[in-house]
Structure 1
């Protein structure tokens, strides 16, 4: 099945960039330093803004102080960081006004990671610093669509986390789950699930973009 749309909005980590090792390493160190079981962090952190995770698992700490320190560590830790196969080629093929990134990470972290793996930086980049409510709230994807000048219902979103899938669906977008960091069953609310971004086939036509894919089962 192919989808017709006016724009594609990508999540960053887990969709375009494989940062799983960095994220786990930084959160584990943060939790150990504060005497918080890492399992509590791991249970709630996927796809959500870090400040909300901190507020949930460590309400006794000042979230602004904690997020500043954690954000700096996330932005500068690049060991094991790499772009997923096909990510750079796909972004370079897309017209610049037809794609955006909406991430739960902070702006400095997102741009640092994109620069490290040499991904092109989008004209529209929505980060945790730009929204009042992060995923699973629809605001990140609503804002990205607005800034692209398209209706959310004319956007296809690529997401690897259940919170992100919910965010995109609530915004009114169609969603393709990318099963890199979570199981396909955890992404069941998506329109379809693909194994990785290289499974996408995107064609630019006069009427917009045509998005087709290799399914998780076919991979």
Structure 2
């Protein structure tokens, strides 16, 4: 399956960077401290802003304060972070003004993780700090498209989480979902589902970017 687009917007964690060891470690610590069932957190936190997850699982705490503390500690923790296979090569092959990121993480997190893993910082970066409504609301992808100067309908989003897929679709973008953190059955809103980022082939043409899904679910 092929997609033609003018720009590609990537989610970060679960798409470009495998941060599961870091996220799990900090969520488990937080859950133990507040007496919250970790499995409940694990079912919903992918693709959502930290503050929204905390509001759902622990409505009795100060969600904004707790999210800030957790996000700061997690951003500074690079132990166990790795790139997904093909991520560095894929980004290196794209014009820098034709790709960006929209993540539920903080700007601090992206600014630490990208250089740590040898990635150039995106020219367009939308984080949880930039929007009042995070995924699954369309705001992150609407803002990313606006900053890239491309209509959402001409953007292709690469996502891994149901909340992110819903956000991109609500913004009017096409979506390829990778099954790195969620089952294909949970990503059904996507226009295509791939087993891994490395199965995507992207070529640059005068009329735009062509993205080929070589291994679909």
Query: Partners of 1:200 and 1:121 in 2: how far apart?
Result: 21
Shift of 1:186: 1.1
1:69-111 superposed Cα distances (whole Å, 9 cap, x missing partner): 1011111221211111110111111111100000000111122
Aligned equivalent of 1:120: 120
Shift of 1:168: 0.4
Alignment RMSD (CA, Å)? 1.0
Shift of 1:40: 2.1
- Where do 1:147-158 residues align within 5 Å? 147-158=147-158
Shift of 1:65: 1.6
Query: Partners of 2:115 and 2:72 in 1: how far apart?
Result: 15
Query: Partners of 1:85 and 1:111 in 2: how far apart?
Result: 20
Q: Which moved more, 1:163-172 or 1:33-42?
A: 33-42
Query: Partners of 2:186 and 2:43 in 1: how far apart?
Result: 13
Aligned equivalent of 1:47: 47
Secondary structure of 1:43's counterpart equals helix
Aligned equivalent of 1:178: 178
State the TM-score, normalized to the length of structure 1: 0.96
Aligned equivalent of 1:193: 193
Secondary structure of 2:112's counterpart equals helix
Number of aligned residue pairs: give it: 217
Q: Which moved more, 1:3-12 or 1:72-81?
A: 72-81
Secondary structure of 1:47's counterpart equals coil
Aligned equivalent of 1:143: 143
- Where do 1:17-96 residues align within 5 Å? 17-96=17-96
User: Is the Cα–Cα contact under 8 Å of residues 51 and 63 in structure 1 kept in the other structure?
Assistant: yes
Query: Partners of 2:52 and 2:145 in 1: how far apart?
Result: 23
Shift of 1:185: 1.3
State the TM-score, normalized to the length of structure 2: 0.97
Structure 1 ranges of 4+ moved more than 3 A: none
Query: Unaligned regions of 5+ residues in structure 2, if any?
Result: none
Shift of 1:43: 2.3
